[in-house]
Amino acid sequence: MNTKMPKRILGNRGLEVSAIGLGCMGMSFGYGPAADKQEMIALLHAAVEQGITFFDTAEVYGPFTNEALVGEALAPFKREVIIATKFGFDIDPVQMKSIGVNSRPENIRKVAEASLKRLQVEVIDLFYQHRVDPDVPIEDVAGTVKDLIREGKVKYFGLSEAGVETIRRAHAEQPVAALQSEYSLWTRQHEKEIIPTIEELGIGLVAYSPLGRGFLTGKIDADTQFAEGDIRNILPRYTEEAREANMALLDILEQFAAAKNATTAQIALAWVLAQKPWIVPIPGTTKLHRLSENNGAVYIHLSSDELQELESAATQVEIVGTRYPEQMEKMTGK
């Protein structure tokens, strides 16, 4: 295993992970048909060889198939890696899809047992509440995970897309190691209240979609056709008109990429890494060359002058389109 990849610590409870993680969702779910299983196992092995120790999955990805894939692929390395998974949805066993949120204690326990089996591990390293459940007090959620930690079934508790009030209440019941939320050069609403709150509480940030679901790589333009079943077909920011308008941000990234002999994806990831030492981006990919390209971002240093320049150029661009349709945005917490 290559150990050159630098490490970062999420939160103040000692959870150490590679500076860049790997989001595994897209291998099975969310971006059209699932990728070839053997190819994805090879990709996960390559990630370990390149020094990635932090892998992200969830029971709802598939459902279930992504956890099983990650579990099988990483079984030979389970002492060396950190696998994060998530609970918090009701899954219809017939239609095999999510039918709403469910963070009732009995469901959390049921998911924990099933995830342990699919991941082929004795303990879940990081267990996130995937989305806030308005019908279950967050203290009950945190308390259930606290019990699972006490029982040796979970090591660390995490939240995903939770708001400030939820984070504070959960953290008071059971310390939260990490908050997973969308964060990138074009999704920055969390800078206002959430990032200062987690900094104060000593909680790490795991940044999903740090490449804007592929847009910041420069490989998507107004003419790109997304596959059937690709989530971007329903997201307002990926309509043709929005993509056309948002190319302005890409133009800025391209200038920086040319100056640094890097790719736009590497500049976008280097920007996220430069924001705080306790932020870990988890770009997803199904391609080996993209994996290596993304991991190369850890070696790109943006000076404070360059960061300032990138910041002022990026803030001139008004991003068109919300990140989620209204109904999905409502599922992000208070």
Amino acid making up residue 73 = A
Give residue 62's identity as a one-letter amino acid code. Answer: G
* C-beta of residue 8 within 8 angstroms of C-beta of residue 52: no
* Residue 296 DSSP one-character state: G
What would you report as the CA-atom Rg of the chain, rounded to the nearest whole angstrom? 19
Taking the alpha carbons at both ends of the chain, their separation in whole angstroms is 41
Please give the helix or strand (H or E) that residue 17 lies within, else none. Answer: strand 15-18
Closest Cα to residue 162, out of 128, 127, 212, 199?
128
- Residue 53: what are its φ and ψ, rounded to 5°? -120, 5
Residues identified as active-site = 61
With CA atoms as reference, report the closest residue to 114 among 79, 92, 86: 86
Considering Cα of 155, then 205, then 286, then 237, what sign does the dihedral take? Answer: positive
Q: Which two tokens stand for residue 324?
A: 């989620």
Beta bridge partners of 207: 181, 281
Q: Which of 29, 9, 324 is nearest to 181 (CA)?
A: 324
Rounding to the nearest 10 degrees, give the CA dihedral for residues 293, 294, 299, 304: 120
3-class secondary structure, 260: helix
H/E run at residue 86: strand 82-87
